[in-house]
Chains A and B, each alone.
Chain A
Amino acid sequence: MNSPRTLYQKHIDSHTVATLDDQGHVLLYIDRQVANEYTSPQAFSGLREAKRGVWRSRATLAVVDHVNPTSPTRIAAMPDAGGALQVAYFEENCRDFGIELFDVLDKRQGIEHVVAPEQGFILPGMVVAAGDSHTTTYGALGAFGFGIGTSEIEHLLATQTLVYKRLKTMRVTVTGTLGMGVTSKDIIMALIEKIGASGATGYAIEFTGPAISALSVEARMTICNMAVEAGARGAFMAPDDKVYGYLKSKPRAPQGEHWNAAEKKWRELFTDEGAVFDSEVRVDVDGLAPMVTWGTSPDQASPVSGRVPDPATIADPILRQGMQRALTYMGLEAGMALSDVPISHAFIGSCTNARIEDLRDVARVVEGRKVASTVRAMIVPGSTQVRAQAEEEGLARIFLEAGFEWRQSGCSMCLAMNDDVLAAGDRCASSTNRNFEGRQGAGARTHLMSPAMVAAAAIRGRLTDVRLLAEEI
């Protein structure tokens, strides 16, 4: 125990109930979980069938987010029978098993990974699991979060533990200074482009370096959130004063003596000097340009100043076919300038980029401008609380005047499980996390980018370097 340990090893060691073998399997204690209406029903049914209870009901926070409508006036009814069934069963499960629920009408409702941090439900040093791949978001608070499937949710509800295999560790050191108009979204998109969609499969990533320290806590969440798109099963950052400042005012943060004791312990959450990582990656952000995706995998990305790549230049036949298929699906020709690509939709939303700072970025770009007449532009705030704050700060008025739809909170068109769905052939500039085939609607085309870049695309009606738009003022 005296040899230097990484932050990851410290988290796993402090949450190991039992070591199960010499291959790295442990019974891992989970401090908190967040549940949603779409990945949890079969887990609760499993408990009911086996006549099992929930081990520690107050460790779970339940939020309706995936299937609810986001129409500008909040309505409790779901737009379809399946969604209504899931929400009704979710409410029944929360009631029967004593789990706290933020339903659609709750002022604290929102996307689970926006809500849990803003409530102070996630704290440094915790291990958190949830039935959603973007649970990695919590790493920005110095908690280790990871996504699990429904069978694991059931296991977790019944035992507060998971049978877990230790991951390999990767340190991503980010240096340099971000230029104007370049954001943490561009950092994580550049990393994914560099290491590939499976570049971190089997790893827990620790992000470190001056460019990470310089970011706000919310901006860091975007990085940890999307680390899963490089395959990482968890991604985090050592907590610092910014994290303590972020947490201090949150409703469920520890108070008084508890806070002092907690903060003292949190300050030990760092990788010891001399600890060895299985992999080291360096990213320098000096000169980094805003990124956009051109394909159907998050690693198919380029600076916005670039061109659509040519599959003919790729030697590996599987990669070449994959790129060709992506270009066909996206309706793009090799060699096209990305800034020539017109869009029909602009979407600001998701657990990746729909927090208050993201909305402020959007407002700065669109204030005094109008959405192009060829574009339908939507803003879906990450939580009902974010929506209220944006209204208080006058951002909502800026959005409406510019021609954006100003909607209620939910996962919405990030994965289009509710009624916010694109049609085949629609092309969307999106602040979300996945550009997979069919993700935003069968046959719909997604270009991922930062919120400021989506705003610029909405104004110009095509993919646009937000830095050029700023110069026009």
Chain B
Amino acid sequence: MQPFETVTGKAAPLLASNIDTDVIMPKQFLKGIDRSGLDKGVFFDLRFLESGEPNPDFILNQPAWSGASFLVTGPNFGCGSSREHAVWGLKQLGIRALIGTSFAGIFYDNCQRNGVLAIQLCESQLQRLARVVSHGATATISVDLPNQRIWLSEGSVIEFTIDALRKQSLLSGLDAIGATLQRAAQIRDFEARHYADNPWLD
């Protein structure tokens, strides 16, 4: 997994509530057995017109925000289906972090597992950030994970919080399964007790 330290790039505001994973990655892109080619599917019905041409009204198709590294999102972003394809696609499109007031639980964990930083800000901080990046001229920000800061282009800064465990794993890009397997003996001890106590589960 690609480690996350400090990333600088454009931030695109996408502030509607409850943007679900069906909208982020529609069904026709879910038929693969690998993770490839999903950048094309991201926000497909919003990004493209029926003709297949890019929809000029969609924020990521506008020059000031095209190639954005960050999305500034409305409440409950990523709700609905568990499909991790949504996060794979966002990452392939170049999105490194999402900044919003709240994220749906499964989506939030999927981001973490893919090295995409999901930052939760309070409403007033998010509105401040959204105001600044809504102007193309000030859409570029820096997200500094080690110091837990978002630097805005007009020089101000927004601090954010994140669980130490999540932060460490994003910074190191470590293999979560490998880390857990170092506890294999503990898992086996647990199983021995668990199935002795609940033999009908074995």
Q: Which residues of A contact B (CB under 8 A)?
A: 15, 17-18, 20-21, 23, 25, 27, 29, 31, 38-39, 41-42, 45, 50, 52, 55-56, 67, 80-83, 85-86, 89, 123, 125-126, 131-133, 147-152, 154-155, 158-161, 163, 165, 197-198, 201-202, 231, 233, 254, 258-259, 261-262, 265, 297, 299, 318-319, 321-322, 325, 415-417, 434, 436-439, 442
User: Out of A29, A89, A147, A442, which one reaches B194, CB within 8 Å?
Assistant: A29
The minimal Cβ–Cβ distance linking B69 to chain A, given in whole angstroms, is: 21
Cα(A438)–Cα(B201), bound, Å = 41
User: Out of A163, A231, A437, which one reaches B79, CB within 8 Å?
Assistant: A231
Q: Are B200 and A123 touching (Cβ within 8 A)?
A: yes
Cα(A259)–Cα(B164), bound, Å = 43
Q: Are A159 and B181 touching (Cβ within 8 A)?
A: yes
Stretch of B3-11, B58-66, B133-141, B182-190 that contacts chain A? B182-190
User: Out of A55, A86, A415, A442, which one reaches B81, CB within 8 Å?
Assistant: A415
The minimal Cβ–Cβ distance linking A182 to chain B, given in whole angstroms, is: 26
Q: How many residues belonging to B are interface residues under a CB distance threshold of 8 Å?
A: 54
Q: Are B26 and A438 touching (Cβ within 8 A)?
A: yes
A21-B164, A86-B31 known; A155 vs B105 contact (CB < 8 Å): no
Centre residue among B104, B107, B164, B200 by max chain A CB count within 10 A: B200
A89-B33, A151-B84, A231-B104 known; A437 vs B183 contact (CB < 8 Å): no
Q: Are A27 and B163 touching (Cβ within 8 A)?
A: no
Chain B residues whose C-beta falls within 8 Å of the C-beta of A160 in the assembled complex: 187, 191
Q: Are A436 and B114 touching (Cβ within 8 A)?
A: no
Chain A residues whose C-beta falls within 8 Å of the C-beta of B199 in the assembled complex: 258, 261
The minimal Cβ–Cβ distance linking A130 to chain B, given in whole angstroms, is: 9
Q: Are B164 and A39 touching (Cβ within 8 A)?
A: no
Q: Does B144 belong to the interface (CB within 8 Å)?
A: no
Q: Does B82 belong to the interface (CB within 8 Å)?
A: yes
Q: Which 7 pairs between the two chains have the least Cβ-Cβ distance?
A: A82-B31, A151-B113, A198-B76, A254-B200, A41-B33, A149-B84, A149-B110
The minimal Cβ–Cβ distance linking B173 to chain A, given in whole angstroms, is: 13
A29-B190, A261-B199 known; A198 vs B18 contact (CB < 8 Å): yes
Beyond A133-B81, A258-B200, list 5 extra A-B contacts (CB 8 Å).
A149-B84, A262-B200, A415-B22, A434-B80, A436-B22
Q: Are B198 and A262 touching (Cβ within 8 A)?
A: yes
Q: Are B177 and A38 touching (Cβ within 8 A)?
A: no
The minimal Cβ–Cβ distance linking B95 to chain A, given in whole angstroms, is: 16
Q: Does B155 belong to the interface (CB within 8 Å)?
A: no
A27-B180, A45-B34 known; A149 vs B18 contact (CB < 8 Å): no
Q: Are A41 and B187 touching (Cβ within 8 A)?
A: no
Chain B residues whose C-beta falls within 8 Å of the C-beta of A132 in the assembled complex: 81-82
Q: Are B201 and A322 touching (Cβ within 8 A)?
A: no
User: Out of A23, A123, A154, A197, which one reaches B165, CB within 8 Å?
Assistant: A23
Chain A residues whose C-beta falls within 8 Å of the C-beta of B103 in the assembled complex: 201
The minimal Cβ–Cβ distance linking B180 to chain A, given in whole angstroms, is: 5
Determine the residue in chain A with the shortest Cβ distance to B130.
A318
Q: Are A148 and B106 touching (Cβ within 8 A)?
A: yes
The minimal Cβ–Cβ distance linking B201 to chain A, given in whole angstroms, is: 6
30 contacting pairs across A/B (C-beta < 8 A): A23-B163, A23-B164, A23-B165, A27-B180, A27-B186, A29-B191, A41-B32, A52-B177, A81-B31, A83-B31, A85-B33, A133-B80, A133-B81, A148-B109, A149-B82, A149-B107, A150-B84, A151-B84, A155-B177, A159-B181, A160-B191, A161-B180, A201-B104, A262-B200, A417-B27, A417-B30, A417-B31, A434-B22, A437-B22, A442-B45
Q: Does B171 belong to the interface (CB within 8 Å)?
A: no
Q: Are A202 and B22 touching (Cβ within 8 A)?
A: no
The minimal Cβ–Cβ distance linking B76 to chain A, given in whole angstroms, is: 4
Q: Does B15 belong to the interface (CB within 8 Å)?
A: yes
A158-B177, A231-B105, A318-B17 known; A148 vs B82 contact (CB < 8 Å): yes
Cα(A422)–Cα(B105), bound, Å = 29
Determine the residue in chain B with the shortest Cβ distance to A85.
B33
A42-B35, A85-B33, A165-B163 known; A322 vs B18 contact (CB < 8 Å): yes
Chain B residues whose C-beta falls within 8 Å of the C-beta of A27 in the assembled complex: 180, 183, 186-187
Q: Does B67 belong to the interface (CB within 8 Å)?
A: no
Chain A residues whose C-beta falls within 8 Å of the C-beta of B181 in the assembled complex: 158-159
Interface mask (B138-172 → A, CB under 8 Å = 1, otherwise 0) = 00000000000000000000000001110000000
Q: Are A18 and B183 touching (Cβ within 8 A)?
A: yes
Chain A residues whose C-beta falls within 8 Å of the C-beta of B22 in the assembled complex: 415, 434, 436-439
Q: Are B80 and A436 touching (Cβ within 8 A)?
A: yes
Q: Are B82 and A259 touching (Cβ within 8 A)?
A: no
Q: Are B190 and A17 touching (Cβ within 8 A)?
A: yes
The minimal Cβ–Cβ distance linking A405 to chain B, given in whole angstroms, is: 21
Cα(A233)–Cα(B82), bound, Å = 11
Determine the residue in chain A with the shortest Cβ distance to B86.
A149
Cα(A159)–Cα(B176), bound, Å = 11
Cα(A318)–Cα(B101), bound, Å = 13
Q: Are A436 and B20 touching (Cβ within 8 A)?
A: yes
A123-B201, A321-B16, A436-B23 known; A39 vs B183 contact (CB < 8 Å): no
